[in-house]
Amino acid sequence: MQKRICAGTDRRLLYTVVPIPETMLEYVWDYGYLDPETETKYVRAMLNSCEKLNSDSSWFEKTAVLIKISQQFFREYEDASSLSQRDVAR
């Protein structure tokens, strides 16, 4: 069982984040962001792996649009870095 760490609040954290050592900064790359068209293609490719969605084009389209709109929402009201393509897979 993983050990949970108590933060200063009542929340129990599963992981802690530590700063990256300065000696490793030269190995950090900024890949930037996907443009909207490429991101849409990427999301559709990920959704193609879902058999139930892939078999119903109406649900497929609605899901793709919903993901696109939700990601736009988070970029507008949160930080752009709060999103990742892993969220689509989840």
Round the average pLDDT of the chain to a whole number and report it: 81
Please give the average per-residue pLDDT across 57-70, as a whole number.
91
More confident residue, 25 or 9: 25
Helix (H, G, I), strand (E, B) or coil at 21: coil
**Cα 43 from chain centroid?**
11
Entry pTM: 0.61
Average pLDDT on 47-60 reads: 87
